[in-house]
Structure 1
Amino acid sequence: MIPLLFIASSLITYKGLKLISKILPVKNPKKSSELIVSKQEISNPEKITNRIFLISSTSLALATVGILFYPPLLYFSILGVTYDLIPLWQNGYKSLTEEHKINVGAVDFIAVSSLLLTGHYFIAALTDWIFYFGLKLVTDMKDNSKKDVVSIFEKFPNSVWLVKNEVEISIPFDDLKTGDVIVINAGEVIPVDGSVTKGVALVDQHILTGESQPAEKEIDSQIFASTVVLSGRIWVKVEKSGKETAVEKITEILNNTAKYKMSAQSKGEKLADDIALPTLMLAGITIPVSGVSGALAILYSYLGDGIRIVAPISTLNFLKVASKNGILIKDGRALEELRRVNTVVFDKTGTLTQEQPHVGKIYTLNDYGENELLTYAAASEYKQSHPIAKAILQEADKRELKLPTIDDANYEIGYGIKVVADDKLIRVGSFRFMEMEGIAIPEIMINIMAYCHEHGYSLIMIAIGSQVMGAIELHATIRPEVKMIIKQLQQRHFAVYIISGDHVEPTRQLAEELEIDNYFAEVLPENKAKIIEDIQKEGKSVCFIGDGINDSIALKQADVSISLTGASMIATDTAQILLLDKNLSQLNKLFDLAQELNTNLNTGLATTIVPGVIVIGGVFFFHFGITIASILYTTGLAAGIGHSMLPLAKYHQLEQEK
């Protein structure tokens, strides 16, 4: 029998691997986390992993039947195990020749090869299966949680209305060209960057700018992809579409940073790699003391190797528990990283506040009362579905107002709306709308408008006949759960910040109301990430919570990123964690899960390391062999897997008790 020392030393030297490379040539080996054997397989590593796991499972089944009933089947299991060694060898070869270090792949290759060479076929098949079982779990976790930045086109309609020879025709969105003119109606998402050539509209662009007030758009106004027309109808000349839009440029930035995010190794893999060389050296010096069986036992006791199986199972179970609590964690590493967070940064508009505002003060002029003006405004907006209309209708419903029937069904919609009710011509809309309609604005209303602008309120004017008779002040609506969440975070001794693209005064007022000391206002999208970076440079670990396209780069910069369902497409694709209930109520539970995961992982690590330590001690003091080592290792691994299943078991128990 060839001494194990010779096998190990030859396999871990460059010359040894160079010799084997003549038999099994490696062409462009990939990262150690991938099992790639051919160019075709590069496109789908999940299929490769599944195939090799099937081979290893078949080999284990053959070896089991062989050792129990029909020994010749043991030899058939050798074929599958030998095939499975190829990617392990590629892994170790790349690490040694390119990274100049011995990694876990080299140890696994040497361990399984040595078991085969010494006739331990069943243990070799079992070891092979355990390795690929763990790799399959890791691959499944990555494939199920990984979310590439989804193309913004998925939020756009498949077709658009193109104006050609003054006729509107429907064409596929992909056929749009620069210079084309398209029509966009109320309630539609704007699919291009361009300029308005005809019409007027109110556009919600908070996901780009962070401003809570809708923007008024008229001829020559610039509009941007993924913003929404709240009311009105506009003709837009296409300047940029598809990959040229502002949104797609942000997407490109995100894709350029994704590679770095994906390169980090798990704690278990790093531990296994770090002790790879010491394990091989210890196995080599064990031969004179305990013989080949003792050296094999040392290789089999490989400290930290089992955590590659236990950690993914534990993480997957916590992800399931999180999802059952209304939390979708797209990247399992985010949950582990969350326990280190000590600073939470909120975007203001759409995150701390709801999309729909609420009515603040109703200003009245002349002899009209609040309820009368609100009744006319609500009747005018009755058929509209944008947030401003909903806020006015909600207030009218709260006051139990009876709305009059609209006599004239011809709505004239732009910056406002014009209808006939109770034989009166009613106009409801912005200051610009009233100007366009030729209605004089009283000086008192101009002063009110200046006050609202200073405080970040929207102001909707109401004209009856040819005179402005009042206005409705709209305030941003704070999410009902926010105050409780902020207090819970502060009780954890977290620093809390607000970042907003909105004006200073509304941001300051919100910060005061929520008792938050740190806030930034009028922040451009590209500067949000810079603020996050500056906070990180102070040694803080940052969790950023945002919902808009303007938040996407900041979401990438943060250590952990969270968004809400119902946010912009790019924000939900970029964020590592989504709160599925469209609110922040589960944020505290999320931090609890992060701490519980850390405890579970540490216990799992101990269950895989302790048996290895016992084996190493037993080899030198009690002459343990490969059989005892395999029993202890498998027992420890089973205990680790059992412990990693506890979170889900506890959740089911709590559900049954409810």
Structure 2
Amino acid sequence: MNHEDHRRHMSGEHSARATVSEAEHVDHTTHGQAMPEGHAHSAVDEEHAVHQHGQHAGHSTAMFKNKFWLSLALSVPVVYFSPMFAHLLGYHIPEFPGSSWIPPVLGSLIYFYGGTPFLKGGWTELRSRQPGMMLLIAMAITVAFVASWITTLGIGNFNLDFWWELALLVVIMLLGHWIEMRALGSARGALDALAELLPDEAERITEHGTETVSISELSVNDVVLVRSGARLPADGEIIEGRAELDESMITGESKTVPRGPGDTVVAGTVATDSAVRIRVGAVGTDTALAGIQRLVAEAQASSSRAQALADKAAAFLFYFALGAGIITFIAWVLLGSPDEAVIRTVTVLVIACPHALGLAIPLVIAISTEQAARAGVLIKNRMALERMRTIDVVLFDKTGTLTKGQPGLTGIAAIEGMNDDDVLALAAAVEADSEHPSARAIVTAARNHGLRVPAASGFASLTGRGVKADVGASAVMVGGPNLIAAEGLDVPGEIREQTRPWVQRGASVLHVIRDGQVIGAVSLEDEVREESRQAITALQKRGIRVAMITGDAQQVADAVAAELNIDEVFAQVLPQDKDKKVGELQSRGLKVAMVGDGVNDSPALARAEVGIAIGAGTDVAMESAGVVLAGNDPRAVLSMVDLSRASYRKMIQNLIWATGYNIIAVPLAAGVLAFAGVAISPAVAAVLMSVSTIVVALNAQLLRRIKLDPAAVR
């Protein structure tokens, strides 16, 4: 089974809905938060993303989209037949029986149909005593609804026809929330992606032979057969056979690990070269994979509960508008104008509704998301984008992120009388028929060196030791220390001297043996990406520290860190410790962005302030992260830093405009300058509100001028 096959297996290409999926499920809210333990969910997709704190009243993206389009269609006749709007633009409304009832009837439909999520959300905020955007919108549309009906029914001497304003307010807010939720939509749940790492079925060995069963039918002490290239269905112990296991999903180690009788093995890992028999030791929620699921759930639940900036501004505006409305009413009553008190109070409460504020953040998010996607950065969580500008340290996983995740030839040693090309050519000849990643690295290196590789015959795999074949008249073997020990050979001193530094930095050393004599050796190491060096240098120039975390040995990690000039290294780290290392950095007061690509990175991705998954990695890593890099270029992290800082500036500018406009317009609507003949009528207030929305929208569009190109990192 080749490396690409391993990748597909690790990515859960063969779907499975097995016992692991019984573990806790996490509800991915738009802020990356999780439901408390015990709230089980099925896979959560974009259509079921729910705004944090219930502000979207549990409604879906599709619901906001449908309500927007229908409300928009209903608002057209409401606006056209509105006397206030007709007077404003100076056209004559066609009159026919019932024409005067079009705005109130359709406006009421819009209020109850399109306004429902805001009314529900406002009630939720009121009950929780956390006023925000929803309560402010609910208050404004309710005041407009009641005031408009009072005018329509001729109660009192009021001119408060706000039907068109009510309709446009609901439509604009539905649009804003639809844009926001679409930008924040997530794909499948991380925990379902974890379940996909298990096969659907297992081959259980019985006294009558083998039988294929669902893995949910497996019990402790069952014996299962795992064929070459297959994934292990349960945790257990090998009782027969030897194989090289790809355990990268658990350990983070890039190299396969030899396992034989008596060794403990883990569900979801891959037997790469040989079949083994395993006695099942744990199934379902007791497996290591299910344990990682629980870590992901706990880490997501512990994420920061930061509030969106717009919600904070809306809370301020709610109190400001409510206080201004009360003061306005009392002041005009005391001045002896109760009719004017009602008109002014309603105008204040309607004009305070944040049309611009409702679009200030969603538009910036939508445009930022679009710009990021063009640069290969997929934003899944808006809070991740907002937090990225505050990051103090970026913690990179080594294997598959800073490195290519596959071995490459880094050194050749030869005895006196042989040259490097001769040794490499012989090694490539023997390895030509092998699909092992190390074999492919050797063959590729020989091809890149332009060598003529001789033909080999009689190829055989020596499980756990190496390979052998006949090259011409010579018997040639290639393998590691186990092969040297098994053959009882001595490694020449000159070869030991050349390979010592390789061993010290953790490289895999394979010896080349011809006719019973060690004639050379090659070293294989996980290759560092050139893009990694550029990304790290650019991050450090921006004042951001860079750390690396890996399951590899300390000497391997130190060698990579020295090559890339990394500030801090965490080596030999198991999955649960990766999560803890993020917490350790956070305990120092640092805000952490974690970049990884494997299942073993998932808890850490969820724990960090910003989780960034390499797109070439596994599904679960991408689901646990708030950001996904579509490619495997770590320089794209720089694009996100720059975009985060730019979009934050736009958010602040829009919020200042949206709130500042209200701070000026509300007192004018209240009539504070009425003594000087300056007063804003309800119609003028509505127009000004629309102008503020246009300003915010145009300002957000300026984000499109930002150029994000990972290849141009500086």
TM range (shorter): 0.7 to 0.9
Which whole-Å CA distance do the structure 2 matches of 1:201 and 1:415 have between them? Answer: 11
Cα distance, 1:285 vs. partner? 1.6
Which whole-Å CA distance do the structure 2 matches of 1:611 and 1:405 have between them? Answer: 80
Instruction: Tell me, yes or no, if structure 1 residue 454 matches structure 2 residue 504.
Output: yes
Which residue does the alignment assign to 1:150? 192
| CA distances 1:127-163 after superposition (whole Å, capped 9, x unpaired) | 2222222222223233257854433232444444444
Which residue does the alignment assign to 2:13? none
Instruction: Tell me, yes or no, if structure 1 residue 114 matches structure 2 residue 143.
Output: yes
Which residue does the alignment assign to 2:54? 32
Which residue does the alignment assign to 1:562? 612
| CA distances 1:616-641 after superposition (whole Å, capped 9, x unpaired) | 24222222122111111111112212
Instruction: Tell me, yes or no, if structure 1 residue 272 matches structure 2 residue 328.
Output: no
Instruction: Return the letter of the residue paired with 1:134.
Output: G
SS in 1 for 2:243: strand
- Whether the 8 Å CA contact 2:513–2:519 is kept in 1: the answer is yes
| CA distances 1:90-121 after superposition (whole Å, capped 9, x unpaired) | 33333333x23544433333322221222222
Percent of aligned positions that are identical: 22
Which residue does the alignment assign to 1:75? 104
Instruction: Tell me, yes or no, if structure 1 residue 61 matches structure 2 residue 76.
Output: yes
| CA distances 1:316-370 after superposition (whole Å, capped 9, x unpaired) | 1111111111112221221111011121222223222221222233333586543
SS in 1 for 2:405: coil
Which whole-Å CA distance do the structure 1 matches of 2:194 and 2:187 have between them? Answer: 20
Which residue does the alignment assign to 1:593? 643
Which residue does the alignment assign to 1:105? 134
Which residue does the alignment assign to 1:552? 602
- Counterpart of 2:664 (choices 588, 593, 614) is 614
Instruction: Tell me, yes or no, if structure 1 residue 320 matches structure 2 residue 342.
Output: no
Which residue does the alignment assign to 1:629? 685
Bigger shift: 187-196 or 536-545? Answer: 187-196
- Whether the 8 Å CA contact 1:202–1:217 is kept in 2: the answer is yes
Bigger shift: 269-278 or 234-243? Answer: 234-243
Which whole-Å CA distance do the structure 2 matches of 1:253 and 1:157 have between them? Answer: 22
Instruction: Return the letter of the residue paired with 1:136.
Output: W
Distance 1:309 1:384, change over 3 A: farther
Which whole-Å CA distance do the structure 2 matches of 1:521 and 1:405 have between them? Answer: 41
Which whole-Å CA distance do the structure 1 matches of 2:213 and 2:490 have between them? Answer: 43
- Counterpart of 1:573 (choices 618, 623, 626) is 623
Distance 1:258 1:158, change over 3 A: same
Which whole-Å CA distance do the structure 1 matches of 2:545 and 2:304 have between them? Answer: 28
Cα distance, 1:423 vs. partner? 4.0
Distance 1:60 1:346, change over 3 A: same
Show the 5 A alignment for 1:201-600. 201-259=243-301, 261=303, 264-287=306-329, 288-289=331-332, 291-302=341-352, 306-365=356-415, 368-408=418-458, 411=461, 413-436=463-486, 438-442=487-491, 444=493, 452-600=502-650
* TM-score (structure 2 length as normaliser): 0.78
SS in 1 for 2:275: strand
Show the 5 A alignment for 1:37-48. 45-48=60-63
| CA distances 1:60-113 after superposition (whole Å, capped 9, x unpaired) | 13412433544321132133134245544433333333x235444333333222
Distance 1:446 1:243, change over 3 A: farther
Cα distance, 1:458 vs. partner? 0.8
SS in 1 for 2:522: strand
| CA distances 1:452-479 after superposition (whole Å, capped 9, x unpaired) | 4432111123333444443322223111
- Whether the 8 Å CA contact 2:241–2:260 is kept in 1: the answer is yes
Cα distance, 1:598 vs. partner? 1.1
SS in 2 for 1:418: strand
Instruction: Return the letter of the residue paired with 1:286.
Output: T
Cα distance, 1:30 vs. partner? 10
Instruction: Return the letter of the residue paired with 2:56.
Output: E
Distance 1:432 1:569, change over 3 A: farther
Which residue does the alignment assign to 1:193? 235
SS in 2 for 1:460: strand
Q: Give 5+ residue unaligned stretches, structure 2.
A: 1-50, 83-92, 149-161, 333-339, 709-714
Instruction: Return the letter of the residue paired with 1:81.
Output: I
Which whole-Å CA distance do the structure 2 matches of 1:190 and 1:320 have between them? Answer: 40
Which whole-Å CA distance do the structure 2 matches of 1:127 and 1:66 have between them? Answer: 17
The Cα RMSD (Å) is: 3.1
Bigger shift: 398-407 or 335-344? Answer: 398-407
Cα distance, 1:31 vs. partner? 4.3
Which whole-Å CA distance do the structure 2 matches of 1:225 and 1:54 have between them? Answer: 48
SS in 2 for 1:385: coil
Cα distance, 1:188 vs. partner? 4.2
- Whether the 8 Å CA contact 2:136–2:314 is kept in 1: the answer is no
Distance 1:234 1:472, change over 3 A: farther
Q: Give 5+ residue unaligned stretches, structure 1.
A: 1-28, 37-43, 653-658
- Whether the 8 Å CA contact 2:140–2:352 is kept in 1: the answer is no
Cα distance, 1:552 vs. partner? 2.0
Which whole-Å CA distance do the structure 1 matches of 2:479 and 2:225 have between them? Answer: 22
Which whole-Å CA distance do the structure 2 matches of 1:648 and 1:200 have between them? Answer: 57
| CA distances 1:204-257 after superposition (whole Å, capped 9, x unpaired) | 323422334432211111222333444343333333345433122111221234
Instruction: Return the letter of the residue paired with 1:153.
Output: A
Distance 1:66 1:145, change over 3 A: farther
Distance 1:565 1:116, change over 3 A: closer
Which whole-Å CA distance do the structure 1 matches of 2:419 and 2:226 have between them? Answer: 37
Which whole-Å CA distance do the structure 2 matches of 1:641 and 1:172 have between them? Answer: 55
| CA distances 1:21-65 after superposition (whole Å, capped 9, x unpaired) | xxxxxxxx99432335xxxxxxx6344434443453343134124
| CA distances 1:577-615 after superposition (whole Å, capped 9, x unpaired) | 222221213222221111111122122223322332331
SS in 1 for 2:81: helix
Instruction: Return the letter of the residue paired with 2:457.
Output: D
- Counterpart of 2:123 (choices 65, 70, 93) is 93
- Whether the 8 Å CA contact 2:459–2:468 is kept in 1: the answer is no
Which whole-Å CA distance do the structure 1 matches of 2:312 and 2:599 have between them? Answer: 35
Which whole-Å CA distance do the structure 1 matches of 2:418 and 2:229 have between them? Answer: 32
Which whole-Å CA distance do the structure 2 matches of 1:430 and 1:188 have between them? Answer: 25
SS in 2 for 1:306: helix
How many residue pairs get matched? Answer: 615
Which whole-Å CA distance do the structure 1 matches of 2:379 and 2:52 have between them? Answer: 27
Distance 1:173 1:446, change over 3 A: farther
Which whole-Å CA distance do the structure 1 matches of 2:705 and 2:284 have between them? Answer: 47
Cα distance, 1:189 vs. partner? 4.1
- Whether the 8 Å CA contact 1:232–1:414 is kept in 2: the answer is no
SS in 2 for 1:408: strand
Instruction: Return the letter of the residue paired with 1:269.
Output: D
Which whole-Å CA distance do the structure 2 matches of 1:227 and 1:651 have between them? Answer: 42
- Whether the 8 Å CA contact 1:562–1:579 is kept in 2: the answer is yes
- Whether the 8 Å CA contact 1:428–1:463 is kept in 2: the answer is yes
Cα distance, 1:298 vs. partner? 1.8
- Whether the 8 Å CA contact 2:132–2:311 is kept in 1: the answer is no
Bigger shift: 273-282 or 155-164? Answer: 155-164
SS in 1 for 2:617: coil
Instruction: Return the letter of the residue paired with 2:108.
Output: L
